[in-house]
Amino acid sequence: MSSKFPLFPEQASTLAADVDLLYFFLIAVSLFFTVLIAALVIIFAVKYRRRSENDVGADIHGSLALELLWSVIPLGIALVMFAWGAKVYLDIARPPDNAMEIFVVGKQWMWKIQHMEGRREINQLHVPIGKPVKLTITSEDVIHSFYVPAFRVKKDAVPGRYTELWFEATKPGSYHLFCAEYCGTEHSKMIGQVIAMAPAAYEEWLTGSDIAPVALSVPPAGAAAGATSGAAGAAPEGMAKAGEGVFLQKGCLACHMAAPGSLGPNLAGVFGKERKFVDGSTKVADEAYLRESILTPLKHVVEGFQPVMPTYQGQISEQELMQLIQYIKSLGQPAEGEAVNAPAQDDATTAGEES
């Protein structure tokens, strides 16, 4: 990033070296075949150039042995490339269990980011080094794509669903963050930085105040949105806490009570559990399922409950949704389970549509 004319991107994540090694392997194979073909074409062209007007080529029809040879060898090489590429892809696709979570919402034309502890930022993502970070990504409008070249990772931000991406930064620094999926006028301005910091510095940063709570209406001026380490205001509200506010404000509590006979199911401990629906099918309650249950609640009605929940499509922002989901997830944690909810009930009664 310092050089004026770099030819190779910086490696700043644990995955980067693996991707680059695969890249070098493919370059080596490509170089070999390109040079081979070019050399043969040039050598034949010179050696067998037409010397007299009426020369004709030798009467050669083909060779089964050669055809097999140059089918099987490329096939073998291709399979190696496939297997190697698949291995790297699976590593990229599967976040480690201990990854810390950060939430990303793309919108025309900015990246809105919220940390678990509540701190928010725009077009900047602060992360600690040496710790796996998992991003849960969505979009408020069109498809965007979250791309950090120095980490060799990219994932589309798709409206209406969650995607995830993970990385572990290896050295402190500031790295390009690009939107890689064309999204309209200011697509090339939907950029920013990922700032990797030593863990202690990150912890300290987390307690600082947001860039500005109303920053959502600020024009997407990538670099200009600085002002990060002014550790002024009060520590931000955690996402789960903010989600509790949304839960109360949207009136979810009216139906999702802890008491038996409540219209909707008790939400304590729901996250990560298998849910059984009125049509007999089942599904594990992950983030995508919780999201679906809030936006299109009648899609999967939990066994034992009536299809009475109204949709919240269009009435809740992506950011509020993520907070709400964090709140519901936090209800699943053993210590809080008891405090917020009625005594544990068995499956038949806890089952129900979410929200």
Partner 1 sequence: MEAAAAGTNYLNNGYGVTSWLLTKDHKRIAILYLISITVMFLLGSLFAVGIRVELLTPQGDFVGADTYNKLFTMHGVVMVFFFLIPSIPAVLGNFLVPMMIGARDLAFPRINLASWYIYVFGAAFSMYAMLAGGVDTGWTFYTPYSSASSNTNVIPMALGIFITGFSSILTGLNFIVTIHTMRAPGLTWFRLPLFIWAHYATSLIMILGTPVIAITILLVALERGLGIGIFDPALGGDPILFQHLFWFYSHPAVYIMILPAMGVTSEVIACFSRKRIFGYGFVAISSLAIAIFGFLVWGHHMFVSGQSVYAALVFSVLSFSVAIPSAVKVFNWTATLYKGSISFEAPMLYAMGFIGLFTIGGLTGLFLSSLGLDVHVHDTYFVVAHFHYIMVGGAIMGYQGGLHFWWPKMFGKMYPEGPARIAAALVFIGFNLTFFPQFVVGYLGMPRRYHAYPDEFQVLNVLSTAGASILALGYLLPAFYLLWSLKYGKDAGPNPWRATGLEWQTASPPPTENFESTPFVDEDAYEYGAREAHVV
248-287 residues in contact with partner 1 (CB under 8 A) are: none
> Residue written as tokens 């002024």?
232
Q: Is 200 in the site for partner 1 (CB under 8 A)?
A: no
Q: Verify binding: residue 8, partner 1, rule CB under 8 A.
A: yes
79 binds partner 1 per the rule CB under 8 A: yes
CB 211 within 8 Å of CB 120: yes
Task: Give burial (CB, 10 Å; 0-12/13-18/19+) of 334.
Answer: exposed
Q: How many residues bind partner 1 (CB under 8 A)?
A: 91
Q: How far apart are CA 225 and CA 229, in angstroms?
A: 12
Instruction: Look at the chain and count its residues.
Output: 355
Q: Within 13 Å of residue 110, how many CA atoms lie on the same side as its CB?
A: 18
- Beta bridge partner(s), residue 137: 104, 163
Rounded to a whole number of angstroms, the minimum distance from the CB of residue 67 to partner 1 is 5
Alpha helices per DSSP H over 207-258: 239-249
Asked if 353 and 300 count as a contact pair (C-beta separation under 8 A), the reply is yes
Q: Closest approach of Cβ 310 to partner 1, in Å?
A: 16
Please state, as a whole number, how many other Cβ atoms lie within 10 Å of the Cβ of residue 20. Answer: 14
Q: Judged by CB under 8 A, which stretch of 28-36, 213-221, 268-276, 302-310 contacts partner 1?
A: 28-36
Q: Considering only residues 100, 116, 143, 342, which one is a binding residue for partner 1 as defined by CB under 8 A?
A: 143
Q: Per CB under 8 A, which of residues 304..343 are in contact with partner 1?
A: 313-314
The answer to whether 230 touches 209, Cβ cutoff 8 Å, is yes
180 binds partner 1 (CB under 8 A): yes
Candidates 281, 300, 284; CA nearest to 292 is: 300
Among 96, 188, 230, 344, interactor with partner 1 by CB under 8 A: 188
Q: Which of 17, 48, 204, 235 binds partner 1 (CB under 8 A)?
A: 48
183 touching partner 1, by CB under 8 A: yes
Q: Out of 14, 17, 28, 58, which residue is the one contacting partner 1 (CB under 8 A)?
A: 58
C-beta closer to partner 1: residue 124 or 350: 124
Residue 181 contacts partner 1 per CB under 8 A: yes
Give helix 318-331 / helix 287-295 axis angle, nearest 10°. Answer: 120
Question: Closest approach of Cβ 166 to partner 1, in Å?
Answer: 12
Which residue, 66 or 339, is less far from partner 1 as judged by CB?
66
In the bound complex, what is the minimum distance in angstroms from residue 181's beta carbon to partner 1?
6
344 binds partner 1 (CB under 8 A): no
